[in-house]
Amino acid sequence: MIDFTLNGEAVSLDVPPEMPLLWALRESAGLTGTKFSCGIGNCGACTVHLDGAAVRSCSVPVANVAGRAVITIEGLADGEALHPLQQAWIDHQVPQCGYCQPGMLMAISALLERRPDVTDEQVTESITNICRCGTYERIRSAVQSVVQKTDEDLDEENGNV
């Protein structure tokens, strides 16, 4: 049995320890919001949070999460209140087919936790998730609508520098 916290609830999954976390989430825990695509850690479709950091769950053996906290796309909202990025995704009509978007949201929400004032350039550098539909421009617009502006940013926007 592998015991860990999943979206705030204690869970105990009867799965082989070497099983990828992605399989355990989808097949054993029944949370299918996290997507399988490349299966080799390249595309980011399977991104979840492990102790607050973004990880690619196809490449993490489930044994590695024992005693730790996993958040999936199903746990990103705070009850009925969407995460600000989820609302921004709706406002900016980001998804096309939508397949990559749970992973995108998990990767970018982890980045925002570390860098609440993240810039466009930092998003481009840090987020290596692949979107075959090419929604990158709308992603950048949506992210910038929720970043916390520094006083310097606001001065620059207001022409005070």
Which residues bind to ligand FES, rule: CB under 6 A?
36-39, 41-46, 56, 58, 95-101, 131-133, 135
- 8 A C-beta contact, residue 6 and residue 70: yes
Q: How far is the CB of 22 from ligand FES (least distance, A)?
A: 6
Read off the amino acid at residue 132: R
21 or 116: CB nearest ligand FES: 21
Q: How far is the CB of 37 from ligand FES (least distance, A)?
A: 4
- 8 A C-beta contact, residue 74 and residue 139: no
Q: How far is the CB of 104 from ligand FES (least distance, A)?
A: 7
96 or 153: CB nearest ligand FES: 96
Q: How far is the CB of 152 from ligand FES (least distance, A)?
A: 33
58 or 146: CB nearest ligand FES: 58
User: Residue 60 is encoded by which pair of tokens?
Assistant: 């993490």
Query: Which residues, other chains included, contact 118 with Cβ-Cβ below 8 Å and sequence gap of 6+?
Result: 111, 112, 126, 143, 147
Q: Could you count the other beta carbons within 10 Å of the beta carbon of residue 118?
A: 20
